[in-house]
Amino acid sequence: MDQPPVPPQPDADDELTRVHPNYAHALRVQTALGSLPVLVAAAVIEIALRKLDLLPPGLIAGVVLLIVIALVIRIPQSRFNARGYQMGSDRLRVVRGLMFRSDTVVPFGRVQHIDVAQGPLERFFGIATLTLHTAGNHNASVSLPGLGEELARDMREDIRAHIRRETL
C-alpha cells in the first residue's frame, strides 16, 4: 500500500519571521482596555474606604495603576516576542506562547479553507489574522495574528494557489 510522502519537518533552528510591529501596539491597547474594569474597581473601593477614613487618598488606586502600567508595557511586548512564523513551499509553521510554547506545522495539503480577518483594532493598526482550517479535530484551526494586512492576503493567495496545484 502506497503512503503519501511525509512533508519535511521544520528544523528547530530555522529562522522565524516576526509578525508586524504594529501587533505589539495592538496588544498594548488590548491589554489597556482589558485593565479598565480593574482600575474602575480599584477606584470604587478607594472611594468607599475614603468615606470611612480608613486609608490615605490614592493608596489603592495608585498601586493598581502602577501595576497596570507595568503590565501594559511588559506583557504585550513579551507576547509579541514569543510569536513567529515560517512559510515554506508546502507548509506554514506557527510558533507562539510565553509559558506554554506551541510550535504548529500545517501542511498545505490538509488545509480546507483560509480566512483573513480584521477586528476594529486590527484595522486601525493595519494588521490582520490569517486562519487556516484543516481536516481533523485536534488543532483544526491555526491562527496567525499580527500580519500586515496585505501580507495576510498574499499568504492566503499563495496557499490557495498551492492547494489548487496539488489537487490538479
Residue with cell 480566512: 115
Single-letter amino acid code for the residue at 98: L
The residues, ordered by sequence, that sit 6+ positions from 124 with a Cβ below 8 Å of its Cβ are 26
pLDDT exceeds 50 at position 50:
yes
Single-letter amino acid code for the residue at 155: M
**Residue 86 or residue 139, greater confidence:** 86
Residue with cell 489548487: 164
Average pLDDT over residues 89-94: 93
Q: Output the pTM of the full model.
A: 0.80
Residues 21-48: pLDDT tens digits?
A: 999 999 999 999 999 999 999 999 888 8
Average pLDDT over residues 114-125: 96
- The three-point CA angle 74-77-83 to 5° equals 140
Residue 1: the pLDDT is 46
Measure the CA–CA gap between 122 and 22, rounded to whole angstroms.
Answer: 9
Residue with cell 495603576: 65
Q: Which domains does the chain have, with CATH numbers?
A: 23-79 (no CATH), 84-167 (2.30.29.30)
Measure the CA–CA gap between 111 and 79, rounded to whole angstroms.
Answer: 26
Q: Which residues pair with 17 in a beta bridge?
A: 85
Residues 140-153: pLDDT tens digits?
A: 899 999 999 999 99
Residue 55: the pLDDT is 75
pLDDT exceeds 70 at position 58:
yes
The HSE-up count of residue 65 (CA atoms within 13 Å, CB side) is 8
Q: Which residues pair with 102 in a beta bridge?
A: 96
**Residue 158 or residue 137, greater confidence:** 158
Measure the CA–CA gap between 36 and 162, rounded to whole angstroms.
Answer: 44
